[in-house]
């Protein structure tokens, strides 16, 4: 046997081994770890979803998405379930996004997982947005990408001082999906365009001030808030809103601080109102302020293709329904993958 044949056999063996490893991982995820990756419990008047992968910042897997979607639909039809609460295990994250590592490994092994993952994730995002029961997302800790999709389309989003929000996709060759094309252009002024193109991070009460969260609660009161919600008897949407509003009103952390981007909103509205990425860059250069030049530096590090896709995505999404946006984003996601 010649050296070429030996190398060919070794290459085939390594590819076979890699494929088997990934398939084993996916099988294990489906049959063993999956049940523990997300907890679905009926407590009091509520269905409670707990994303339970704290070591992985509660990153979403396909099996988690499937379990949540299925249970959400069941609770929606259950007359004894009056609200749905979703939260993340641990102190670090609500959900840092989709588990891209597993998707990437599957793609390398020719396991065409991306179309299925994105399709079912977006179906879940739409289910959250159209949920007939009050939906309360406790966004404590890192909330990015897929974690935003699990929360922002729900009726109530409760941030704490440890909440860290961002849509960082333009830095990795993608675009702010999971319905980003719907909610981002609907934020005040051109704030959503700014957040989408730069990946700027919002923290704590600023997540509420930006309009991404509907309420702000001190993290030390989060457990009490959940208990009070679970103790409600056949609550209406108004009953739930009243409990959330009481906790929000009592919160003192950063109450007197203004929105961190308040002083820059005129510049954001002016520079990010342009219809092309080139015009935005030119406006930032012309502005010349330290803030504008800092954003210019950030934008210059992003994927140029992602920037152009993202700007068009938000412009198109500003007049579409959530379902229409998610359909558009699914097509975009597949075009970016291949």
Residue pair 73/47 in contact by the 8 Å Cβ criterion: no
3-class secondary structure, 299: helix
User: What is the distance of C-alpha 219 from the center of its chain?
Assistant: 20
One of 146, 147, 149, 154 is an active-site residue; which one?
146
Task: Give catalytic status of residue 245 as yes or no.
Answer: no
Alpha carbons 106 and 22: distance in angstroms, whole number: 6
Task: Give catalytic status of residue 288 as yes or no.
Answer: no
Supply 336's token pair.
Answer: 């970016």
One of 121, 177, 206, 226 is an active-site residue; which one?
177
How many residues appear in the chain? 338
One of 169, 206, 218, 329 is an active-site residue; which one?
169
Q: What backbone torsions phi and psi does residue 226 show, to the nearest 5 degrees?
A: -60, -45
Alpha carbons 271 and 280: distance in angstroms, whole number: 5
182: region left, alpha or beta (phi > 0 left; psi from -120 to 50 alpha): alpha
Alpha carbons 304 and 273: distance in angstroms, whole number: 18
Task: Give catalytic status of residue 169 as yes or no.
Answer: yes
Alpha carbons 49 and 127: distance in angstroms, whole number: 14
Task: Give catalytic status of residue 98 as yes or no.
Answer: yes
**Rounded to the nearest 10 degrees, what angle do helices 114-129 and 322-337 cross at?**
160
3-state class percentages of the chain: helix first, strand second, coil last, to nearest 5: 55, 10, 30
Residue pair 166/97 in contact by the 8 Å Cβ criterion: no
One of 98, 149, 180, 199 is an active-site residue; which one?
98
Distances (CA, A) of 167 to 164, 199, 243, 246, 252: 10, 5, 29, 30, 27
Alpha carbons 175 and 197: distance in angstroms, whole number: 9
Q: What is the 3-state secondary structure (H, E, C) of 198-231?
A: HCCCEECHHHHHCCCCCEECCHHHHHHHHHHHHC
Q: Which residues are designated catalytic?
A: 98, 146, 169, 177
């Amino acid at each position: 046997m010649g050296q070429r044949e030996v190398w060919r056999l070794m290459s085939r063996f390594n590819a076979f081994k890699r494929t088997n490893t990934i398939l084993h991982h996916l099988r294990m995820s489906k049959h063993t770890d999956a049940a523990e990756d997300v907890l679905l419990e009926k407590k009091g008047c509520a269905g409670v979803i707990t994303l339970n992968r704290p070591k992985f910042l509660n990153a979403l897997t396909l099996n988690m998405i499937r379990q949540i979607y299925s249970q959400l639909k069941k609770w929606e039809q259950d007359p004894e379930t009056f609200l749905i609460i979703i939260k993340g295990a641990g102190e670090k994250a609500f959900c840092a996004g989709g588990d891209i590592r597993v998707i990437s490994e599957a793609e390398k092994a020719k396991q065409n997982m991306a179309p299925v993952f994105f399709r079912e994730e977006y179906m879940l995002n739409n289910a959250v947005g159209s949920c007939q029961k009050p939906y309360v997302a406790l966004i404590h800790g890192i909330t990015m990408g897929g974690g935003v999709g699990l929360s922002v389309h729900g009726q109530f989003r409760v941030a704490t001082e440890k909440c860290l929000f961002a849509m960082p996709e333009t830095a990795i060759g993608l675009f702010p999906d999971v319905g980003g094309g719907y909610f981002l252009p609907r934020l005040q002024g051109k704030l959503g365009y700014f957040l989408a193109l730069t990946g700027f991070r919002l923290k704590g009460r600023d997540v509420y001030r930006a309009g991404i969260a509907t309420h702000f609660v001190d993290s030390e009161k989060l457990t009490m808030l959940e208990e009070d919600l679970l103790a409600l008897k056949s609550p209406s949407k108004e009953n739930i809103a009243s409990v959330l509003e009481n906790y929000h009103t009592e919160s003192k952390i950063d109450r007197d601080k203004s929105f961190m981007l308040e002083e820059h909103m005129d510049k954001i509205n002016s520079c990010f109102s342009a219809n092309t990425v080139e015009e935005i860059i030119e406006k930032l250069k012309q502005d010349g302020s330290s803030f504008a030049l800092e954003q210019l530096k950030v934008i210059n590090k992003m994927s140029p293709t992602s920037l152009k896709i993202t700007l068009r995505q938000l412009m198109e999404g500003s007049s579409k329904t959530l379902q229409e946006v998610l359909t558009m984003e699914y097509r975009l996601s597949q075009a970016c993958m291949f």
